[in-house]
Amino acid sequence: MAPTVTTENKTVSQNRRSALFYTTPTTISGTETLMNLIDVSMYSKLTIQLLNTDATDATVKVYGSLKNEPSGVAGGTDWVQVGDDITLDGGVIKAISTTPLRYLHIIGTGDTAVVTCWVYAEQV
């Protein structure tokens, strides 16, 4: 089951908004959804930050879609992987940034890694 995504809406200035999407730490056993489908269509800059607080490694894949209503699972025909696989060694935090997308979906694989995800989205 995918973790709950919390959203904090923020105001950067009178005409610019931003949001912080984040999850609670998720233990990965096999392949797990770390952040389920989130709508980021009103933002033009996305930064994804991933933290592994366990001693074991995890591999994380970030997927995005430009479709209005993407179907299927991340990695399917409506989705494209953003960047390369992200290897999170135990106790490591990593970040990537990307240009505008409509939807974002994050998946992780590992044995016992505990991963937390943050997505900062901003109108530029």
d(CA 61, CA 74): 9
Residue 2, pLDDT score:
76
Residue 1, pLDDT score:
66
The gap from C-alpha 49 to its chain's centroid, in whole angstroms, comes to 8
> How many H helices and E strands in the chain?
0, 11
Q: What is the pLDDT of residues 88-111, one digit of tens each?
A: 999 999 999 998 999 999 999 999
Averaged pLDDT for residues 30-37? 93
> What token pair was written down for 9?
């809406």
pLDDT for residue 3 is more than 90 = no
d(CA 101, CA 39): 9
CATH of 5-122, one of 1.10.287.110, 2.60.120.20, 3.40.50.300, 2.160.20.70: 2.60.120.20
Domain boundaries, the chain: 5-122
Percent of the chain with pLDDT over 70: 99
Q: Model's pTM, two decimal places? A: 0.92
Residue 18, pLDDT score:
96
Higher pLDDT, 106 or 3: 106
Cα-based angle 16, 22, 25 (whole degrees, multiple of 5): 165
Task: For residue 91, give the amino acid letter.
Answer: G
pLDDT for residue 13 is more than 70 = yes
